[in-house]
Structure 1
Amino acid sequence: MNISIKELNDDMFIITAKMVTELMNYHRKLNNAPKKYWHTLEEGKKALNEWLSKGSAYNILLDGEVVGFLYVRYGGQDVAWLEDLYIAEEYRGKGIGRYAMNKLDKIMEERGIVSMFVDVIPRNTSAMEFYTECGFDHLNLIQLRKNYDKKLNKQDEVEILGFNLKKY
């Protein structure tokens, strides 16, 4: 199993845009969003172009085949945000994401990045587990949400810093 990551190039743009679309729609599915909010391939292409204007996208390859991507956005003070990590469903659970994260860590260190942040939806416990195993161990920011549409309310609760909150 030969895993590598490579900065996105024109040859891989469309396949990556398709994966961006799949990722965006996966998020919509997690949130039970109506189909009218799901992304099209055209929206995936537009999002990918916007991302490239603000950061870097890396394809994750398995034996030369694109099986995922990483998108990193850069900020001031030599910090970066891992905005998205996507592995095609049929390749998940094989250590490909962990390998890609290790490669990304080396790239970030070479670029002089001092810290990297990642946002995770609290309901996505598998992502929480993955990122903590990859060394994300500092709680940086808590984002609170208020629903006006009561259909969006969740029942699962979590205690954080003495506050009982609903897990979204």
Structure 2
Amino acid sequence: MAKNKDKDRLQKTVNISNRRASYEYQFLSKYTAGIMLRGTEIKSIREGNVNLSDGYCVFNGNELFLLQVTISKYTEGTHYNHEPTRERKLLLNKRELKQLKDGAQEQGVTIIPTRLFISDRGFAKVDIALAKGKKLFDKREDIKERDVKREMARERF
């Protein structure tokens, strides 16, 4: 019993988000997918050495792959270390893959990673979103709404 408490206490929560994505894109729908990892990639993710900002997803046949996401090399890794920017397969069921493929066929719609985290069972998961790029006036609207909410919150206190 004590071993489980120590293990839970020592396990670090990993929650890496792509904050720029919500500024650049309007999310149409969100999905959670597993990632196929190799070797030392999970250890590097647990240390938090991931960059999602340039990442995107693309279909290759009927499979979805995550591209341009950098998982830095594990510091304690040897010659068995992984390649930082390799493409990684995403694990979704057929229904979700079909929905994403149909949605991505539209003009101006892309699939981007929004958050990478470790599940309760210890698996690496990524939240992906079907997203449409925002125009400059949309970005200004979001900034105005955020400022109004902030001012209203200040007035309440």
Q: Which has the higher strand share?
A: 2
Rg (Cα) greater in structure: 2
Structures share fold, TM-score greater than 0.5: no
Q: TM-score, normalised by structure 1?
A: 0.27
Q: TM-score, normalised by structure 2?
A: 0.28
